[in-house]
Amino acid sequence: MIIHEVETYSENEMKALQLTRLQETLKRVYGNVPFYHSKFDELGLKPEDIKTVEDISKLPFTVKADLRNSKPFELFATSMKEVVRIHASSGTSGTPTIVGYTEGDINNWADIVARAIAIAGGEADGVFQNAYGYGLFTGGLGLHYGGERLGMATIPISGGNTTRQINIIEECKPTVIAGTPSYILRIAEEMESMGKDPLESSLKFGIFGAEPWSEELRKVLESKLGIKACDIYGLSEVMGPGIAMECHEAQDGLHIAEDHFIVEVINPDTLQPVPDGEEGELVFTSLTKEASPVIRYRTGDIASITRGTCSCGRTTARMSRVKGRIDDMLIIRGVNVFPSEIEECLLRNEDLVPHYQVHLYHEDAMDHVELHVEINEQIYRNCNDDLKNDYIKTVAKNVRHDMKNYCLVTMKVNVLAPGSIPRSEGKAIRIIDHRKKGLPV
Ligand code: DLL
């Protein structure tokens, strides 16, 4: 359901709105944030020099290190009196990036997420189970306020306590569920192991994101739960979930809330823009954020952008599924591989379940990959005991062969017993890098 006319704006209408908001944002950051003031001064730029949306390319980039290296609240563009909420993202280095929200920001965010839930199929008379973690992570509260704003009966169950999730699904009959795809898969599997048929649940739509996932995992989740599963994207530095949302009608790219964010795609090496349709690093500029606006924020996420009217009727630019983060890209003996490509290949194999881990080692001056995959319990159980070992060996051989063909990398493959790979309640941990810790192989 299209709930805001801005979703169908013409290119000119959208650009006019973006320009006004961009100019306001630039004045605010230049006037209130010393970091941006000096960055603009270094380039001899004043906010008035930005006269078209395209002029954005004159502005400096912002990177995660800029946010991490600043003191908490130093990059806020408003006084603390106006800040009503703090969220933080804690990355691999452990240094949290702190972001603030004014009442206006919280209000806009709720509107944006309400729109996103509607894009995914949610409606005011439905029940919405929110299995994203509540807390400093933006997933829980971000989806929560969006659900309420849309008018849905929103269940703040948060992540974890899988049996309770299943009981609530049975009791409250939600039509929409949100969570990381890896956690929703766990809920579906738990239903099966309790002897319940997930296809009989009330669920119709899923809002899944916060971690890379593949088309193959979409198929698994849709067929297990009998739902339409749609991808939601966002990051705390720019706002949180809702920056882009895939529509349930076309499932063909995520509609970007362009009235609140300008998107660019750049080549991460040359920092030059890449043409529409070509993959590169996503860069966002916030247009309405008051407390923590960001200018040309380099997300580290790899995707492409397409423009043109979608079959759902929306005209906003669409981003492709995120292939992965630049820093998650594995370079194995010169070949670039994203974990999402490994997932795509693995999930085509019916002998396996959609859980895996990639272990990285360094030995003999070379990087090595060891893939941990998990055997499909039903097939394994039905296999004659005498043949189980041979069966495992054959599966490992097939996976090695598929990886070599699809990802062009030779990997050691460990086929593990059902339930061996740890399940997550939030973002799944897929890559375990033993190289950094210098652990022996
Ligand atoms: O993950 C916000 C979010 C919450 C998005 C709920 C969607 C749903 P952060 O914790 O700051 O914020 O992590 C942001 O997660 O830069 C991406 O690398 C990754 N990410 C987020 N959504 C997707 C997605 C939230 N749909 C980082 N596909 C981003 C792939 C995603 N990666």
Residue 98 backbone dihedrals phi, psi, to 5 degrees: -100, 130
31 alpha carbon to ligand 1 midpoint, in Å?
Answer: 30
Q: Which domain holds residue 157?
A: 98-325
Could you tell me if 136 and 265 lie in one domain? yes
Element (H, E) at 232: strand 228-235
**Residues 374 and 312 grouped into a single domain:** no
Instruction: Report the Cα 216 to chain-centroid distance in Å.
Output: 16
Supply the CATH number for residue 410's domain. Answer: 3.30.300.30
* Residues 309 and 348 grouped into a single domain: no
> How far is Cα 121 from Cα 312, in angstroms, rounded to an integer?
11
Q: What is the CATH number of the domain that holds 105?
A: 3.40.50.12780
45 CA from centroid of ligand 1 (Å): 32
Q: Are residues 212 and 112 in the same domain?
A: yes
Boundary residue ending a domain (294, 325, 356) = 325
Q: Which atom of ligand 1 is nearest to the CA of 212?
A: 30
pTM over 0.75: yes
340 with 293, same domain?
A: no
Contact between residue 176 and residue 122 where contact means Cβ atoms under 8 Å apart: yes
How far does residue 335's CA lie from ligand 1's centre (Å)? 25
Task: Tell me: do 175 and 219 sit in the same domain.
Answer: yes
Amino acid found at 252: D
Whether 185 is in a domain gets the answer: yes
Residues within a 6 A CB radius of ligand 1: 89, 132, 137-139, 209-212, 231-236, 240-241, 299, 301, 322, 325
The H or E element containing residue 437 is: helix 434-437
Q: Is the dihedral of CA 421, 422, 425, 431 positive or negative?
A: negative
> Would you write out the chain's pLDDT as a tens digit for each of its 441 residues?
899 999 999 999 999 999 999 999 999 999 999 999 999 999 999 999 999 999 999 999 999 999 988 988 999 999 999 999 999 986 655 678 999 999 999 999 999 999 999 999 999 999 999 999 999 999 999 999 999 999 999 999 999 999 999 999 999 999 999 999 999 999 999 999 999 999 999 999 999 999 999 999 999 999 999 999 999 999 999 999 999 999 999 999 999 999 999 999 999 999 999 999 999 999 999 999 999 999 999 999 999 999 999 999 999 999 999 999 898 888 877 788 888 889 889 989 999 998 999 998 888 777 888 999 999 988 888 888 888 889 999 999 999 999 999 888 889 999 999 999 999 899 998 989 898 654 443
What is the C-alpha separation between 352 and 337, in angstroms, rounded? 20
Residues 311 and 334 both lie in one domain: no
Residue 279 buriedness (CB in 10 A; 0-12 / 13-18 / 19+): middle
- For residues 205 and 249, state if they share a domain: yes
Number of domains in the chain: 2
Do 114 and 252 share a domain, yes or no? yes
Secondary structure string (H, E, C) spanning 114-156: HHHHHHCCCCCCCEEEECCCCCCCHHHHHHHHHHHHHCCEEEC
- Does 171 fall in a domain? yes
- Amino acid of residue 371: L
Q: Residue 209 Cα, ligand 1 centroid: separation in angstroms? A: 6
Tell me, yes or no, whether 302 and 153 share the same domain.
Answer: yes
Same domain, yes or no, for 277 and 313? yes
Same domain, 279 and 334: no
